[in-house]
Structure 1
Amino acid sequence: MNDASKPTATRLPDFIIGGAPKCGTTSLHFILGQHPDIGIPDNEINFFDADDPIVHPDFLFVEDGRLEWFDVEDPEGKSLDWYEARFAPFRDKPRIGEDTTTYLFSAAAPERIQAALPDVKMIFLLRDPVRRAYSQYWHLMRTARLACSFEKALTQHSSIVLGSTYAPHLRRYLDAFGPDQVKVQIFEDFRTDQQAFIDETTDYLDLPRMSLAEAKTWFNRSTYPQMPRLHRAANRIGRGLISGRYRNHMGGRTGLRHRVHHKLHHLWFHKVNPRLLRAERPPRMRADTAAYLAQHFSARNAGLSDLLGRDMSRVWDGFTG
Structure 2
Amino acid sequence: MNTMKHSVLSVSRTTGWLTSSGRILPSFLIAGAQRCGTTSLYRALAQHPLLLKPVLHKGVHYFDVAYARGMSWYQGHFPLKVGSALLTRKYGMRPLAFESSPYYLFHPLAGERIARDLPAVKLIVLVRDPVERACSAHAHELARGFETESHFEYAVELEDKRLAGAEQSLRDDPDSIHHSHRHHAYLARGRYAVQLDRLEPLFGRERLLVIDSHDFFAAPERVYDQVLDFLEVPHLGYPEFERHNGRSLPKPVPESLRQTLRDHFEVYDQQLVGWLGGDPSWRR
- 2:22 counterpart residue number: 9
- 1:316 counterpart residue number: 282
Is 2:61 the partner of 1:46? yes
Q: Are residues 186 and 224 of structure 1, via their aligned partners in 2, closer, same or farther at CA, if it must alter by over 3 Å?
A: closer
- SS of 2:186's partner is helix
| Cα-to-partner distance string for 1:46-90 (whole Å, 9 max, x where unaligned) | 11111xxxxxxxxxxxxxxxxxxx5x2x5xxx5211101011347
| Cα-to-partner distance string for 1:149-185 (whole Å, 9 max, x where unaligned) | 0101112344111210101110111111111100111
- 2:204 counterpart residue number: 178
Which residues of structure 1 form unaligned runs of 5+?
1-7, 51-69, 229-282
**Is residue 165–residue 300 contact of structure 1 (8 Å, CA) maintained in 2?**
yes
- 1:29 counterpart residue number: 42
Is 2:214 the partner of 1:218? no
Q: Higher Cα Rg: structure 1 or 2?
A: 1
Residue 127 of structure 1 deviates from its aligned partner by: 0.5
Alpha-carbon distance between aligned partners in 2 of 1:203 and 1:223, rounded to the nearest angstrom: 31
Residue 307 of structure 1 deviates from its aligned partner by: 4.1
- SS of 1:155's partner is helix
**Is residue 127–residue 213 contact of structure 2 (8 Å, CA) maintained in 1?**
yes
Report the more deviating stretch, 164-173 or 83-92. 83-92
Alpha-carbon distance between aligned partners in 2 of 1:308 and 1:223, rounded to the nearest angstrom: 26
**Is residue 11–residue 84 contact of structure 1 (8 Å, CA) maintained in 2?**
yes
- SS of 2:32's partner is coil
- 1:142 counterpart residue number: 143
Q: How high is the sequence identity, in percent, across the aligned residues?
A: 31
**Is residue 49–residue 106 contact of structure 1 (8 Å, CA) maintained in 2?**
yes
Residue 316 of structure 1 deviates from its aligned partner by: 1.0
Is 2:221 the partner of 1:195? yes
Alpha-carbon distance between aligned partners in 2 of 1:309 and 1:220, rounded to the nearest angstrom: 26
Q: Are residues 220 and 180 of structure 1, via their aligned partners in 2, closer, same or farther at CA, if it must alter by over 3 Å?
A: closer
- SS of 2:98's partner is strand
User: Given the two structures, how large is their TM-score scaled by the length of structure 2?
Assistant: 0.74
The within-5 A match list for 1:1-321 is: 9-41=22-54, 42-50=57-65, 70=66, 72=67, 74=68, 78-89=69-80, 92=84, 94-147=95-148, 148-157=150-159, 158-212=184-238, 215-220=239-244, 222-224=246-248, 228=250, 283-312=251-280, 315-317=281-283
**Is residue 39–residue 245 contact of structure 2 (8 Å, CA) maintained in 1?**
no
Residue 304 of structure 1 deviates from its aligned partner by: 2.2
Q: Are residues 138 and 89 of structure 1, via their aligned partners in 2, closer, same or farther at CA, if it must alter by over 3 Å?
A: farther
Residue 216 of structure 1 deviates from its aligned partner by: 2.7
| Cα-to-partner distance string for 1:177-208 (whole Å, 9 max, x where unaligned) | 11110011111111221111111111111112
Alpha-carbon distance between aligned partners in 2 of 1:224 and 1:304, rounded to the nearest angstrom: 27
| Cα-to-partner distance string for 1:192-247 (whole Å, 9 max, x where unaligned) | 211111111111111122433xx33225363547xx4xxxxxxxxxxxxxxxxxxx
Which residues of structure 2 form unaligned runs of 5+?
1-20, 88-94, 160-183
Residue 306 of structure 1 deviates from its aligned partner by: 3.3
Residue 311 of structure 1 deviates from its aligned partner by: 2.3
Residue 45 of structure 1 deviates from its aligned partner by: 1.0
CA RMSD of aligned residues (A): 2.1
**Is residue 14–residue 95 contact of structure 1 (8 Å, CA) maintained in 2?**
yes
Residue 303 of structure 1 deviates from its aligned partner by: 2.2
**Is residue 78–residue 97 contact of structure 2 (8 Å, CA) maintained in 1?**
yes
Which structure features the higher share of helix residues?
A: 2
User: Given the two structures, how large is their TM-score scaled by the length of structure 1?
Assistant: 0.66
Residue 286 of structure 1 deviates from its aligned partner by: 0.7
Residue 118 of structure 1 deviates from its aligned partner by: 0.9
- SS of 1:18's partner is strand
**Is residue 30–residue 125 contact of structure 2 (8 Å, CA) maintained in 1?**
yes
State the AA in 2 paired with 1:149.
H
- SS of 2:29's partner is strand
State the AA in 2 paired with 1:126.
V
